[in-house]
Structure 1
Amino acid sequence: MRLARHLRRAGTRALFVSATGTGKTLVSIRTADELGAHLVLFVVPTLDLAAQTALAWRRDGHGEYVVIVSSLDTSGRDGLVAARVMSTTDPHALGGLTSVVGQDEDQIPALTVICTYDSLDKIEQTQRPGTRCRRSTSRSWTRHTASRDGPTRSGRSSTTPSTSAPTAAST
């Protein structure tokens, strides 16, 4: 995949722009897979798109932990409950969760975080002292993106967000 090859080079970034319904989410998922990401941040404009994105990751075979950071309470949505999608607005809980992503026996192998624009401040707060977010997993998150530290797909590698700029953003 050309996008993944491009993003493997240090300091690169990409912006993926395409019309509604043309597969931006799937391109982001595939790019994350190609990059072998264990921690992915996917930023979306609406609550409905957050739910839709979480379900798209599941339909694509991703079994890693998925958490939506927004005012959306996933416990009130049967489809999200069935798909084992969590939600939070607590930066400390999110920081704690991101701090245990890794390959050790006591860690979770991958995490996909889906966040609305309105809740990006929660992502920023995970990088403040006292939120338990390890420095190695702390990233400058980007919108509608896949990163370089990323999630796994049913035990296989997948993509993650870039450290300083968008990797596969859409508008």
Structure 2
Amino acid sequence: MTVAAVPAHGRPGRAVLHPDQAEAVSRLARHLHRPGTRGLYVSATGTGKTLVSIRVADELGARLVLFVVPTLDLAAQTALAWRRDGHGEPMVIVSSMDTDGRPDLVAARVMSTADPYALSGRMSVVGRGEDHIPALTVICTYDSLNKIESRKPRTPSSRSRRSTWRSWTRPTGSRAEPTRSGPSPTTRHASALTAAST
């Protein structure tokens, strides 16, 4: 299989994207660079939707990223995927999950909280100042979105780039439906990408 080299933005050991993934990153980033736009990336399970989402966030220069998933298992899997792709920024999973009980997440320096005030404190220090952190990745389940919504900044800094990624798996048909990344045996799976630049 042929692979396409994509710039690593100074992060060694990053996975090389397949041509369809590289094309998706390019198209999505170009589209989402416009303020207030949304996109939908559809691909079969296991074809790298999370990796594409990570690279699009990189292309957009997002410093505060919210990645929404349906389950706690996918929250952990997503956090580890961000780390494998060379992201060392602070990362927090907002849910009932206690990352201290997961040695893989502890080793990857992934925090967890169910406290909206703790989350708000973390989000408030994302910036470029001396007493700020340069980036923050927040991963949550759909059930935890209300915690984030209740604590989001009311007037976001104009210097901060924010992106929201929603990922879900849902059946959309009963017969095989080909997707850009190849056929799926019985269902097609979707990842919805929403980016808001502020």
Residue 82 (structure 1) aligns with: 107
Give the 5 Å matches for 1:131-146: 133=153, 135-136=155-156, 141=164, 143-144=166-167
Give the corresponding residue for 1:124: 149
Counterpart residue number, 1:100: 125
Q: Is the Cα contact below 8 Å between 2:166 and 2:194 reproduced in 1?
A: no
Query: Does 1:6 pair with 2:31?
Result: yes
Count of aligned pairs between the two proteins: 145
Alignment correspondent of 1:63: 88
5 Å matches for 1:5-44? 5-44=30-69
The CA deviation at 1:135 is 2.2
**Per-residue CA shift, 1:51-96, capped at 9, x if unaligned?**
0000000000000000000111000000000000000001111011
* Structure 1 consecutive aligned stretches of length 4 or more whose deviation exceeds 3 Å: 137-142
Alpha-carbon distance, 1:142 to partner: 5.1
SS of 2:66's equivalent? strand
Identity %: 74
Question: TM-score by structure 1 length?
Answer: 0.78
Give the number of the structure whose alpha-carbon radius of gyration is greater: 2
Unaligned runs of 5+ in 1: 128-132, 146-159, 165-171
Give 5+ residue unaligned stretches, structure 2. 1-25, 169-192
Separation of aligned partners in 2, 1:161 and 1:112: 15
Q: In 2, distance between residues paired with 1:126 and 1:161? A: 19
Would you say the 8 A contact 1:70–1:89 is kept in 2? yes
TM-score (norm. length: structure 2): 0.68
RMSD over aligned Cα, in angstroms? Answer: 2.3
Paired residue secondary structure (2:87): coil
Shift of 1:162: 2.3
